[in-house]
Amino acid sequence: MQWETVIGLEIHAQLATKSKIFSGASTAYGAEPNTQACNVDLGMPGVLPVLNREAVCMAVKFGVAIGAKVAPRSVFARKNYFYPDLPKGYQISQMELPIVGVGKLTINLGDGESKVIGITRAHLEEDAGKSLHEDFHGMTGIDLNRAGTPLLEIVSEPDMSSAVEAVAYAKKIHALVRYIEICDGNMAEGSFRCDANVSVRPKGQEKLGTRAELKNLNSFRFLEKAINLEVERQIDIIESGGKVAQETRLYDADRNETRSMRSKEEANDYRYFPDPDLLPVELDDAFIDAIRETLPELPDEKRQRFEADYVLSQQDAVVLTASRELADYYEAVVATAQTDPKIAANWVSGELAAALNKEAVDVVNSPVTAELLAGLLKRIADQTISGKIAKQVFEAMWQGEGDADAVIEAKGLKQITDSGAIEKLVDDVVTTNPKQAEQYRSGKDKLFGFFVGQVMKETKGKANPQQVNELLKKRLAQD
């Protein structure tokens, strides 16, 4: 039996407002517990919520960015449930009339392949507080700093058919919300969270299978792993004659497994009803158009421009436009170095990205600035150094040892291009290794690499590789 995977994602993006969605308390991350929760967030009797205009603007900005219909009238509703970190006994959310309606998003899958994913809706809601289970010895601590933080919940259609597609979608939404500056995208701090709904069905079947909802996916890697695990688990169940239960499952990264959290039968009946404390939100076209005017160049537009202007593959362009900051860095390198944009792309998405990743540094704080990298690329272009030596220079620049020219000078890394000098080295290497030379001449082609290696060793990698190759071929052809 062939199986087909079906995935729909629910993404919670924390909106980057200074204050909460219905109160003036700060949303800054990392404060002492319960120092940023006012009477509204605490659910005190007699207090009234006041809608944060900025949160509305941000939701609208998302709506126009995905080409969705922004609702002229949306309504806040109470979602009732009991939980210790929800003092009011209900969460203010949107149910029947969300602020953002149907839209779509194109994801890029490499090799120039794309797919359009439907977005069902996006609605505004408040976050709950946090229950803290560590350090309280048999008790639970409650921190209400997060209570009332504005969230945009973005719900997709079940349009994705693999973990790879789900990750591409999540990354695209992540890039988009950061481009339009409505969310900082910090997954470690919980500003961007994904729930994945996963089901399987026999290939060709129209009807969707029963889904499980995977919670607690706070990195793209976990998202991918958890989906793959869940797909395997569901196929195993069905193939051994069982039935998949509709339930919420938790992904445990330490054990790399998903486990049941609650079944749909035990699920709450939330008794949604319109919140009588809040007026419906009515937006006219002028308001929406004015926000549309503020949109920057969006990830897709930037990607297409990069592909066209710099002659890059879609894959390269996707990587370089993952954030505005990285894209800006790349464009600064190209403009300053005035060299092949493809080589610049390789350096930015290769050496630089690896170093940033390894040291957990943001590109805007990179010790190797765009100007420094451009200086290095110039020295590769004019053959002062080889691409290989350039990696050494990059490392030194990363350690703060100055610009490319200073490092090349200080470490004596200048490429040897004097063909007389290289010819002499080549001759030495061939005469001191007569056995290998003979073997090479009798057909052991692989030994050519040995000779190149010897010359490079003598020059600490500084000989121009092209010249070494040519002169070695010539020399080995003689007896």
User: Which residues of the shown chain bind ligand ADP in the complex (CB under 6 A)?
Assistant: 6-10, 155-158, 197-199, 208-209, 211
Closest CA to 468 of 353, 457, 270: 457
Residue at shortest CB range from ligand ADP = 8
Ramachandran class of 67: left when φ > 0, alpha when ψ lies in -120 to 50, beta otherwise? left
- The Cα–Cα gap between 373 and 318 comes to 21
- The Cα–Cα gap between 191 and 214 comes to 18
Which CB sits closer to ligand ADP, 9 or 320?
9
Which CB sits closer to ligand ADP, 83 or 136?
83
Nearest distance in Å: CB 157, ligand ADP: 5
- The Cα–Cα gap between 176 and 236 comes to 36
Which CB sits closer to ligand ADP, 6 or 68?
6
Query: Got the DSSP string for 23-80?
Result: SS-B--TTPPTTSS--TTTTT-TT------HHHHHHHHHHHHHTTPPBPSEE--EEEE
- The Cα–Cα gap between 457 and 323 comes to 41
Nearest distance in Å: CB 105, ligand ADP: 13
- The Cα–Cα gap between 52 and 345 comes to 41
Nearest distance in Å: CB 394, ligand ADP: 43
Q: Which residues pair with 107 in a beta bridge?
A: 115
Strands (E), 228-293: 247-252, 257-263, 273-274, 281-282
Nearest distance in Å: CB 82, ligand ADP: 19
Which CB sits closer to ligand ADP, 191 or 197?
197
Which CB sits closer to ligand ADP, 32 or 265?
265
Nearest distance in Å: CB 161, ligand ADP: 10
Which CB sits closer to ligand ADP, 4 or 325?
4
- The Cα–Cα gap between 214 and 226 comes to 8
Which CB sits closer to ligand ADP, 19 or 120?
120
Q: Determine the Cα angle at 289 with ends 309 and 277, to 5°.
A: 130
Nearest distance in Å: CB 155, ligand ADP: 5
Which CB sits closer to ligand ADP, 267 or 364?
267
Nearest distance in Å: CB 115, ligand ADP: 15
Which CB sits closer to ligand ADP, 156 or 323?
156
For 253-322, where are the alpha helices, taking DSSP H only? Answer: 285-293, 299-309, 314-320
Determine contact, residues 97/279, Cβ cutoff 8 Å.
no
Nearest distance in Å: CB 93, ligand ADP: 11
Q: Specify the residue for token string 């989906």.
A: 227
Q: Which residues pair with 77 in a beta bridge?
A: 93, 274
Nearest distance in Å: CB 32, ligand ADP: 34
Which CB sits closer to ligand ADP, 7 or 380?
7
Give the pair of three-digit tokens for residue 294. 């503020």
Nearest distance in Å: CB 252, ligand ADP: 21
Give the pair of three-digit tokens for residue 416. 């040897």
